[in-house]
Structure 1
Amino acid sequence: MSLATLIHRASLPNPQVTTQQALEILEVYYDLSGTLHALGSQQDLNYCLDTGKERYVLKICRGDYAKLELQAQNEALMHLAGHPDLRAPRVIPAAGGEELLTLNIAGQLMHVRVLEYIEGHPLADLKHIGSEVVAEFGRLCGHMNLALAMFQHPGLERTLQWDPRHASALISNLLPIVADASLRIRIADAAQEADRRLQPLIEALPMQAIHSDITDDNVVWQRDAHRLWQVQGVIDFGDVVHSWRVTDLSVTCASLLHHAKGDPFYILPAIRAFHAVNPLSHAELLALWPLIVARAAVLLLSTKQQISVDPANQYSRDSLETELEIFRVATSVSFELMEAAILTAVGESLPAIASEDFAPLLPDLANKAFAIVDLGVLSPHFEAGNWEQEGIDERLLVETAAIHGLAASRYGQYRLSRTRPDSEVEPATCPLHLQLQVPLGTAVEAPFTGVLDIGFDGVLYLSSGQLSLRLWGVKPLQPLGAELVKGRPLGEVVAGLTVQMCRVAQTTPPLFCTPSRASAWQAICPSPARMLRLVCDPEEAVNPQDMLVRRDASSARMQKCYYADPPQIERGWRNHLIDMQGRSYLDMVNNVAVLGHGHPRMTAEVSRQLSLLNTNSRFHYAAITEFSERLLALAPDSMDRVFLVNSGTEAVDLAIRLAWAYSGGRDVVSLLEAYHGWSVAADAVSTSIADNPKAINSRPDWVHPVAAPNTFRGKFRGPESTPDYVRCVEDKLADIAAQKRQLAGFICEPVYGNAGGISLPPGYLAQVYEKVRQQGGLCIADEVQVGYGRRGDSFWGFEEQGVVPDIITMAKGMGNGHPLGAVITRREIADALETQGDFFSSAGGSPVSCRVGITVLDVMKEEKLIENARVTGGYFKARLEALIDRFPLVGAVHGLGFYLGLELIRNRETLEPATEETAALCDRLRELGIFMQPTGDHSNILKIKPPMITNRSSVDFFVDMLTRVLEEEL
């Protein structure tokens, strides 16, 4: 087919066939009837027929297309039938058995086919496609490519506008259609560079039958029971052709770029997945990005051409912005960078630079020892957030040089100073350069032969044909434009020296790159250490996945991590946690670290006390008395005894023992959906099926669960439900009495923590406590999660109900992450346990533990953290409540202060829990730099319990990112 014919076909408008005419074709030739609705297409006319029982696709194309081509498409579909990794539509024959009809419709010659309709959805309009789905596109493309490798048909030998072998000619012909001169130049330049890079590779590119249109429009998906997208099939074989096999992957990658939010590296999971299924040759890997750029240009030009000849084609009009975005992303980075990214993504590397041939850059210092300054995430130089100070890295280098004479940074060491709190964007933490402090006036010589120049940014360049050296802080001693022979004097150091090497002379690399781009940029900008005669590259970091494997090999499996693929967290500061690549995550789950992470006051107090004394609580020292007095001062007046323990579990276990000892009975009433701990007794009164799926049926006979007083989704709903829930307790108490069993006590959280901080019905505890005490039992308030000022309105959760318990248990926040818990009660209750022997908890009342507890109380008061929980937490809740009217998925906001629960539901009437959506939301928030986890028996509630130092800026970041994820339509 000639170029003229190719251009003619690329300019054809859609066939003009009315809905009525299409229905007549289906009835007359296929014995099918029903309702039709149009499916988008650039040049064909597609309809979906719904017969009421089944659905089909009616495809109509102009007679300009050779029947042989359409027959090839049908044969390709039949070739794929039964393939284990693929599903393609079946061809539905006409009543007479024909698989392809050629009809004269209102004077127009048309080709007609009917295909099976594959149920599902394309993902073209999805606002967010995660990396797992991107990888699945690549896997699917690889399987299709393999499946078609042996398919042959004469109809595949055709000239198609989408065949990249004709891209250059097609682009040249269609360029005049672009009215915008600057865009036209950009398209021409990109296409020319793509073709220049592709030409030397053409002979090495394998050819075969390819689909050439596996895009987000042509792959059909459905969500499974876990809300994960699963491929249902591939449609639209209209572009099947015999061409370069790597074309399939280039088309898929190009189509994904409009989901990339500007990041071309977004497609790398697809490339890795394709390569794992169907390995690409080195030539194909080099050709991939030029093909993607060429595809982007052809898409944009073809859409503009189609709009010009068929202005009424809404499908083309709707596609234009998508094609523009694909082209923008495809031309946003250099060819060299994407070539390096693709090669390193599949484990290949760029050719080595003969670095042993370099002359020393600083010949006078070639044999001198440099002090290497650690600027990484775990650097001992960093404490109390000082890495947030402007210029901290440079200051540390200067200070080190003042002591040791010479100082240097490490190339490729992720910098803590580059982390960005409350940011959804991955920070650029990886240095692609070296910083040095050397004496002013130090001679600088050319390490290789090149031309000296200064860039527009004032940077001194030494460039050869394939290599450039960028220098900051150097005054040139040679004329600009001069060619310097290796080893010739170049200049002298006049300030702090920064050195960067780049193997692509025309590229201007950044000084820092993001971790996800590090392997590609480091391939282009290798370490200049060799030309400096330095050993200053960081030791190879332990892969977080390798560390996870080691953890799994040595830890019990039930000790699980947050997330399936968790980042390795080794540092924290205030209300953020920082991984080993310097990314900060907003911590919205850590009700343990009430003061935040790395609090300098806590660090100093613990260090001081450890230097003085740490022992068990049977020794006599002041801290245990001081801390116990502080706790009693916060407790109700009737309470006068404190037990110090190691954890909330230990506190609950001890509280149950106290109730047993005081009452003489063992029977305990607890609430359904509750969690109290993991010890034998604490686990026995825990009934949360989220923590233990067998919790309901495995309780010992001394535990008597009653209905959870959940006023949102419980057995009885609303604030008027108090009598109903109290009656549930009355009935249980009556059962215990009827069996002549002595009640020991009643335990519950005064605010329903496991359900996201739901308040109990008004007056519930007052009535229940009275009835429990009438039967000889004690009332235990489990304040481990919801107490200690976290809610902002009061110090204890039970104050909301206007009651005083007999026993209070607490832990978590009282130690700011240190293992510390407590039980507060009355003397007669405490003394009842004495008949069973002495009690102590080694670390719970140790000097260090007590100083930790005192410090938490001091800082909470001095920094007004309870007030912050009230004010900032109130603002937080108001912002969350505003989401209820915007998003049907948001059912309710529970809690107060910094103990909030956002409950996600699928139906406002039935309150069907959105369990899978909640899990997906938490995973997506992590991608955006936020740690969040679900809670509740249905795991459909966001359990929001951040450090109490959290400020309004972090609240806004969290709610803004949550809004974005909800808008992505999980």
Structure 2
Amino acid sequence: MNFAIATIQQLVKEHYGLDVEAKALTGEYEFNFLLTTTGGIKYIFKVAGDENSYDFFDAQVKIVAHLADTGVAEKLFTYIPNKQGGYITIYHTGNKYYYLRLLTYLEGEFWCNIPHHPDARYTDLGNFLGNMDRALQHFAHPAMHRYYVWDISNAADANRKLHCIKDHERRRMAGYFLLQFETEVLPLISTLRHAYVHHDANDTNILVHDNQVSGLIDFSDMVYTALINNLAVACTYAVMNHTDPLYAASLVVQGYHTAYPLTEQEVDILYYLIAARLCISVTQSAWNASIQTNNEHHFISEKPAWDLLYKLIRINPLKAQHSFRKACGFQPLINNEDYSSLLAERAAHVGRNLSISYRQKLKIVRGALQYLYDDKGNTYVDCVNNPSHAGHCHPVVVKRMQKQIATLNTNTRYLHDHIVDYAKKLTAKLPPSLSVCYFTNSGSEANDLAIRMARHFTGQKDIIVLDHAYHGTSTVAMEMSPYKFDSKGGFGKMPWIHKAQNPDTYRGPYKYADADAGKKYAADVQRITGELKQANKAPAAFICETLLGVGGQIPLPANYLPEVYKHIRNAGGVCIADEVQVGFGRIGDHFWGFELQDVIPDIVVMGKPIGNGHPLAAVVVTNEIADAFNNGLEYFNTFGGNPVSMAAGIAVLDVIESEQMQQHAKDTGEYLMNGLRQLMQQYTIIGDVRGHGLFIGAELVKDRTTLEPAIPEIDKVVEYVKSKGYLLSTDGPLHNVLKIKPPMPFNNNNADELLQYLGEAFSLL
């Protein structure tokens, strides 16, 4: 029901004896009106439906009355009694009851309407709320014990409305923060101090006058909840549109703590509470949009809430905890440890040849989609961890795994639906001939199994690989990885391994401009099959990555695999596509790398992104190879195909599809490569930019004619962008290729910043 202005004026006259002019104001759940008497005195008139009980409105009256005798009274309105002396007037019309209340008017401007606030005002806000909460220590009212959707303690319920957020990136981010709430906050809720609080000190309820907080309005969100939630709400809205929200929030915390001391436990979860309040807000806005509400108040904070969530995910939670602790004078969390002790213990108890990246080592303690957080409070954009395909701690993948591991995890000797469901879902992404799955724990193990199957199927032992290739760390995988066996400390090439020429159209003999480069490089494979034939041998298999990773982030030249597969099959061998690095939509144009070459392998090997970092890999083969391998000798893998791994695999496929990650990889990858090519026009150190989707390489050279590798320049570039918060790595036979293989949530804003810092790094060389 909408109330006509004339009706409101009549009700005020009838019940309060005032002649007024009324003006409608906005409101989420109530009808609000500004009243002005002929003498210029202003009031606020509120009309609420019977969705809430009389007792709840009584609680509002009582809490304001309780605060009337405290130091915050001057910043609060008071209730004006009706003609009968009551503060709540019941009005009945039609089949509905309404509750009428008349309030004094508070002077001031809404916080949200002031473009800039000095530091002291943030502290003043916190101080005011702290004093109010301290004054409410001995207040109680049973009507405030209620379920309320905006109560931050109920933030996990916002998951039910996540589906209303149609933008994939936003839904994923909100889901991530709700997951963190469930993990970091929910187990602690019952241990926190609880109180009767206002719970809605937002930027449209806080008034500012004469350069200080002058008032707080609207007690319709008050609830009995965790005390810290009241401060969390205030911080959330006070820092919207601030360039440094953590700094501003710390000022509010400092002011509150001065008036009403907080505990370490409370401030340590404040970051997650702020994020949770934002998630409630954006999911409510999305839900309201889905039901096509026309109440503008339902969307008033939607844009600034999203803007703040995007800022918040760039803030290391440890840095937030440290800042809030510092504001309260508590023990800090971040120190200047140089890791010497940790490095020494690692050297004593962990294999010495397990490498660590970067000159100044990183200790990563948390991950969030495309972001990594270290123990010093720094945030990094992860540009290299392609195993975390769907993003670090992707909420859908995590929750599916949590649910399954809390239900059952065992081996494949028992029947279970997940392994069949996943095998069907996975093979549906492949050509029909690739229909039988074997599950392992790593790409190395999968490649090992693929070679074993190929040797069994063909009765041959010899393997053809590409020079500089890398296929894993098992004994067999190392034997067919020139990147390893030809390197320092390597054991050299085994006689049954044969290296074909790396089809590098930048450095190799056949360049980009050669339309027949693919066929010419493939001829080297034909040469090897011919030599094997002369020795009365035949290849068991040819294996190569469908885009070369360690070999230099190299896309294969057109028509290379069709020619190679023809030569291998003519010689009686099996064709294995290693999709461990590039599968699952990363290349954008296709789901699998081999599709770029329009070929169908006999065996496909998958790993890394298949489980979003969970130890899972797969070998998918034809029925013929599977039948031959089923020769009476049992294949059993203790962990391969377990229910938790299968749940992870299913979740990853679901997320790739539901969030349209393949198209995102295509669009974002093209955007980034175009930016790199623009840098290439400006800086001659960039010799080549290549890749597909979010599988990108930029080769750095000292001279574009001699192609001398830019070493140590590339290391300086990597270290510089690391100092700016972007993690890159190097690859290629000469270690002069920047490899860019980020988690799929990596976006255009990340790309813009990376390009900016790369440009700065190149300009300093």
Shift of 1:627: 0.2
Deviations 1:332-359 (A, max 9, x none): xxxxxxxxxxxxxxxxxxxxxxxxxxxx
Deviations 1:464-502 (A, max 9, x none): xxxxxxxxxxxxxxxxxxxxxxxxxxxxxxxxxxxxxxx
Contact 2:552–2:733 under 8 Å retained in 1: no
Aligned residue type for 1:700: M
TM-score of the superposition, structure 2-length normalised? 0.60
Aligned to 2:414: 619
Aligned to 2:671: 875
Shift of 1:549: 2.7
Q: Which structure: larger Rg?
A: 1
The one of 396, 402, 410 equivalent to 2:194 is 402
Rounded to whole Å, the distance in 2 between the matches of 1:742 and 1:587 is 43
Rounded to whole Å, the distance in 1 between the matches of 2:369 and 2:489 is 38
Q: Residues 436 and 621 (structure 1 numbering): CA distance in 2 closer, same or farther, change over 3 Å?
A: farther
Q: Residues 602 and 661 (structure 1 numbering): CA distance in 2 closer, same or farther, change over 3 Å?
A: same
Shift of 1:432: 9.7
Q: Which runs of 5+ in 1 are unaligned?
A: 1-360, 369-381, 410-414, 443-511, 530-534
Shift of 1:565: 2.3
1:735 maps onto 2:531 in alignment:
yes
Aligned to 1:703: 497
Contact 1:807–1:824 under 8 Å retained in 2: yes
The one of 821, 826, 839 equivalent to 2:635 is 839
Contact 1:397–1:407 under 8 Å retained in 2: no
1:782 maps onto 2:574 in alignment:
no
Contact 1:432–1:513 under 8 Å retained in 2: no
Rounded to whole Å, the distance in 2 between the matches of 1:926 and 1:661 is 47
Rounded to whole Å, the distance in 2 between the matches of 1:791 and 1:841 is 31
Rounded to whole Å, the distance in 1 between the matches of 2:239 and 2:373 is 8
Aligned to 1:574: 369
Q: Residues 526 and 789 (structure 1 numbering): CA distance in 2 closer, same or farther, change over 3 Å?
A: closer
Aligned to 1:602: 397
The one of 348, 354, 357 equivalent to 1:559 is 354
Shift of 1:946: 0.4
Rounded to whole Å, the distance in 2 between the matches of 1:427 and 1:741 is 68
Rounded to whole Å, the distance in 2 between the matches of 1:713 and 1:514 is 45
Contact 2:542–2:575 under 8 Å retained in 1: yes
Aligned to 2:3: none
Rounded to whole Å, the distance in 2 between the matches of 1:942 and 1:850 is 33
Contact 2:334–2:376 under 8 Å retained in 1: no
> What SS does the aligned partner of 1:867 have?
helix
Aligned residue type for 1:707: Q
> What SS does the aligned partner of 2:644 have?
helix
The one of 695, 713, 717 equivalent to 1:921 is 717
Contact 1:671–1:748 under 8 Å retained in 2: yes
Contact 2:730–2:737 under 8 Å retained in 1: yes
Q: Residues 643 and 629 (structure 1 numbering): CA distance in 2 closer, same or farther, change over 3 Å?
A: same
Within-5 A mapping of 1:421-820: 435=254, 544-688=339-483, 692-693=487-488, 695=490, 698-718=492-512, 719=514, 720-820=516-616
The one of 702, 725, 750 equivalent to 1:906 is 702
Shift of 1:700: 1.1
> What SS does the aligned partner of 2:482 have?
coil
Q: Residues 429 and 904 (structure 1 numbering): CA distance in 2 closer, same or farther, change over 3 Å?
A: farther
Shift of 1:832: 2.1
Rounded to whole Å, the distance in 2 between the matches of 1:741 and 1:624 is 38
Shift of 1:419: 14
Contact 2:463–2:540 under 8 Å retained in 1: yes
Aligned to 1:888: 684
Contact 1:418–1:582 under 8 Å retained in 2: no
Rounded to whole Å, the distance in 2 between the matches of 1:428 and 1:387 is 25
Rounded to whole Å, the distance in 2 between the matches of 1:942 and 1:800 is 22
Contact 1:757–1:896 under 8 Å retained in 2: no
If asked which structure has higher relative contact order (CA below 8 Å, sep 6+), I would say 2
Aligned residue type for 2:349: S
Aligned residue type for 2:508: G
Q: Residues 538 and 432 (structure 1 numbering): CA distance in 2 closer, same or farther, change over 3 Å?
A: farther
Q: Residues 766 and 820 (structure 1 numbering): CA distance in 2 closer, same or farther, change over 3 Å?
A: same
> What SS does the aligned partner of 2:367 have?
strand
Shift of 1:859: 0.6
Shift of 1:548: 2.9
Aligned to 1:931: 727
Rounded to whole Å, the distance in 2 between the matches of 1:433 and 1:562 is 39
Rounded to whole Å, the distance in 2 between the matches of 1:859 and 1:819 is 18
TM-score of the superposition, structure 1-length normalised? 0.48
Rounded to whole Å, the distance in 1 between the matches of 2:689 and 2:741 is 13
Q: Residues 419 and 676 (structure 1 numbering): CA distance in 2 closer, same or farther, change over 3 Å?
A: farther
Rounded to whole Å, the distance in 2 between the matches of 1:694 and 1:441 is 63
Q: Residues 403 and 646 (structure 1 numbering): CA distance in 2 closer, same or farther, change over 3 Å?
A: farther
Aligned residue type for 2:510: F
Aligned residue type for 1:600: P
Rounded to whole Å, the distance in 2 between the matches of 1:514 and 1:878 is 34
Rounded to whole Å, the distance in 2 between the matches of 1:419 and 1:782 is 49
> What SS does the aligned partner of 2:541 have?
strand
Shift of 1:398: 13
Shift of 1:618: 1.9
- What number of residue pairs does the alignment pair up? 507
Q: Residues 944 and 848 (structure 1 numbering): CA distance in 2 closer, same or farther, change over 3 Å?
A: same
> What SS does the aligned partner of 1:790 have?
coil
Rounded to whole Å, the distance in 2 between the matches of 1:834 and 1:514 is 52
Deviations 1:302-327 (A, max 9, x none): xxxxxxxxxxxxxxxxxxxxxxxxxx
Shift of 1:723: 3.5
Aligned residue type for 1:808: V
Shift of 1:923: 1.1
Deviates more, 1:426-435 or 1:727-736: 426-435
Aligned residue type for 1:627: Y
Deviations 1:20-47 (A, max 9, x none): xxxxxxxxxxxxxxxxxxxxxxxxxxxx
Shift of 1:581: 2.7
Deviations 1:866-911 (A, max 9, x none): 0001111111111111111100100011101000001100111111
Rounded to whole Å, the distance in 2 between the matches of 1:406 and 1:439 is 19
Deviations 1:572-594 (A, max 9, x none): 11100011232110000011111
Shift of 1:916: 1.3
Rounded to whole Å, the distance in 1 between the matches of 2:630 and 2:741 is 37
Contact 2:553–2:731 under 8 Å retained in 1: no
